[in-house]
Amino acid sequence: PEFSRQDIPHSIISLLDGFKASKTLFTASKLKVFDVLNSSNSLTLEEVAGQINASVLGTERLLEAAVSLGLLERVKQQNTSVYRNTEQASRFLVSDSPESLNGYILHCNDMVWPLFSHLENAVREGTSQHERAFGKKNEDVFQDAYYSKDEVKIRFMDAMHSIARVTGKDVATAFDLSPYKTACDIGGCTGAMAYEFTKAHPGLSVIVFDLPQVIEMRRHFQPKETDDRVSFVAGDFFKDDLPKADLYVLARILHDWSDEKLHVLLSKLSKMCTPGCGLLVSEIFLDEERKRPSRALLQALSMTEGKQRSPTEYSDLLEKHGFTPKHIKHTDNLLDAMLFVKEDPNNKRT
């Protein structure tokens, strides 16, 4: 049969090449291409190769691929071609820019990419491929994998920090939080989200609660203007007492754990909460038919013990612990948000 232009399966072809494009972005970030171009504005191929300590031939192919992906620009300057960052690269890919995604990109390269290279096994076995990819078993992905080495820990924290800085404002401003005076950000990591909450709500103080291994690194990530309304408490949210607050924030926590484990955490939170206390969940919400967004469904393939859920699934989970869904916000950023309120058990709906 005749093959017409409409028959070209563009979406399949771009999926087919997608992994090469991802790895081009990861490699350019890892080799600091965006950083060296940022400090010199524009550089020739040879200058970039020299500064990133790589072959001219390899650098040329990497830079040309990055230009084709819209990550870099190449322009003529007095008979020579020079490379420079696109506006987007300057804003999101340079490692010390305020909205940098660099930490998350390096985490994807170093932690997620190796896991996905074993996806066939992950699907056959239905388990995380951490041991195949990294030669080590892990029971708890945070304590056994991410936090067993300082270098890996900082990279993971950097990844969380970069996403939280990009999404934090939208999450913090998703709802009217004026009834709340004290919040506790459960698993609040570097505090990046907490600072966005205090910036957005002048009457709110936020306690960041996370594992001791994380809290001990907090100074590494402290913003320039510190805020004495943000404080840090170390502990394990499955085992230790949680700080008292009238709003609890769970940002990117619930998707990491099974329903069974979450019942342990949620029943502790439920005990801490008096009627009227808020619980703000921020995640990528799946649509009710579990068809979109694919970001969430692709992330689920890393086969941690958790799962991606829809707003109804989150509500079912939380309603078992006395929290009623009040508002939902699709932010159009990387994370959505839902606000739950603890009901008075005496006024329980029938």
How far apart are alpha carbons 283 and 16 in whole angstroms? 28
Minimum CB distance to ligand SAM smaller for 69 or for 284: 284
Candidate list 158, 170, 196, 210; residue touching ligand SAM; CB under 6 A: 210
Q: Is 321 a catalytic residue?
A: no
The contact pattern for ligand SAM, residues 158-187, with x = CB under 6 A and - = no contact, is --x--xx----------------------x
| 333 close to 170: Cβ distance less than 8 angstroms | yes
For residue 341, what are the contacts with CB-CB under 8 A and spacing of at least 6? 276, 277, 278, 279, 323, 324, 326
| Residue 316 C-beta: closest distance to ligand SAM, Å | 22
Q: How far is CA 287 from CA 20, 252, 310, 327, in A?
A: 29, 17, 6, 16
214 touches ligand SAM by CB under 6 A: yes
337 binds ligand SAM (CB under 6 A): no
The two three-digit tokens of residue 68, written as one number: 């084709």
x-marked contacts with ligand SAM along 220-259 as a string, rule CB under 6 A: ----------------xxx------------xxx--x---
CA 40, 42, 43, 45 torsion-angle sign: positive
> Considering only residues 97-156, where is the footprint of ligand SAM by CB under 6 A?
142
Minimal distance, residue 327 CB to ligand SAM, in Å: 19
Beta carbon nearer to ligand SAM, 199 or 252: 252
Nearest C-alpha neighbor of 245 from the set 270, 273, 209? 273
Report in angstroms the alpha-carbon separations of 109 from 20, 29, 114, 133: 12, 9, 8, 12
What is the nearest approach in angstroms of ligand SAM to the Cβ of residue 191? Answer: 9
Q: Site mask, ligand SAM, residues 252-291, x = CB under 6 A? A: xx--x-----------------------------------
CA 120 to chain centre: 24
Concatenating the DSSP letter of every residue in 35-47 gives HHHHHHS-B-HHH
Told to check if 19 binds ligand SAM by CB under 6 A, we report: no
Ranges of beta strands (E only) in 89-175 are none
Phi, psi at 344, each rounded to 5°: -75, 120
CB of 277 to ligand SAM, least distance (A): 19
> Pairing between strand 336-342 and 278-283?
antiparallel
Q: Which of 36, 72, 89, 211 binds ligand SAM (CB under 6 A)?
A: 211
Pick the catalytic residue: 161, 201, 255, 321? 255
**Hey, which residues are catalytic here?**
255
Footprint of ligand SAM (CB under 6 A)? 142, 160, 163-164, 187-189, 193, 210-211, 214, 236-238, 251-253, 256
